[in-house]
A and B are shown apart, each in its own frame.
Chain A
Amino acid sequence: MDNALRIIKELKTKGIIQDYAIGGGIAVLYYTEPLLTYDLDIYFVPIKECLDVLTPIYSFLKKRGYKTSKEHIMVEGVPVQFIPVYNELVKDAVINSQKVNYGRLKTNVVGLEYLIAIMLQTYRAKDRERLVTILEETEFDSNRLRLILKKYGLYDKFKKFRSVYFGKN
């Protein structure tokens, strides 16, 4: 994982991507007890808007000898999925990501409140499951969360979710 994170960081320092942050299950795991997941999701802001934003990343990594496997690229034994920021919420989440230590290495992880908002937006079964874990186990900033949810029109959905799963309004 150290080496994979180092390579991902290099994408930014070499100017191949503008910014990045760890999202998905590996971001959730930063805040909660360890949970089973299989890929490392990296949200990234491309250098410029174009149709194929993945090509520069894949070219760089393939030159280093890393191979693709389905929608992933195997970086130092870790299946990494690069996801371009697909809307304003995700872009905001990357720009405001949290600087985190992984051993001696510094990396970026999507902030807890943004992570909740993204999961509310995607709302797959596994997002709902992870949302329950996050709401039960973490101490998120409810003011910050409310601001983010209101900005992206997710506040009512959050209230409904809380009412269904926790009996709260």
Chain B
Amino acid sequence: MERTEILKRIIEAKRQRRKKLASLSYKEKIHILIQLQKFAEGVKKPGNASGNFKTIWFKP
């Protein structure tokens, strides 16, 4: 299989995955958002350099 063909397949698979995620219910998406906030907490800079307010939400 050609490299461009593999790349096309990967991009299409990613697109399908995004589409699937977009079709989740609002509540499920908020649940994922809170998970994302928790993951980001681990890699966030100490202090709050940007001055933005960033906090993990309580459970939905």
Q: Is the CB of A34 within 8 A of B21?
A: yes
Interface presence of A48 (CB below 8 A): no
User: Count of B residues near A, CB < 8 Å?
Assistant: 23
Q: Is the CB of A37 within 8 A of B53?
A: no
Interface presence of A52 (CB below 8 A): no
Measured in the bound complex, the distance between the Cα atoms of B25 and A85 in whole Å is 27
- Chain A residues, CB < 8 A from B37: 36, 38
Interface presence of B32 (CB below 8 A): yes
Q: How many A-B residue pairs have CB under 8 A?
A: 62
- Chain B residues, CB < 8 A from A169: none
Shortest B25–chain A CB gap in Å is 8
User: Count of A residues near B, CB < 8 Å?
Assistant: 28
Interface presence of B3 (CB below 8 A): no
Interface presence of B13 (CB below 8 A): no
Q: Is the CB of B22 within 8 A of A33?
A: yes
- Chain A residues, CB < 8 A from B36: 34-36
- Chain B residues, CB < 8 A from A2: 60
Q: Is the CB of B18 within 8 A of A33?
A: yes
Contact residue among A30, A35, A37 (Cβ-Cβ distance under 8 Å from B26): A30
Shortest A166–chain B CB gap in Å is 15
- Chain A residues, CB < 8 A from B53: 38-39, 69-72, 79
Q: Is the CB of A137 within 8 A of B18?
A: yes
Q: Is the CB of A29 within 8 A of B29?
A: yes
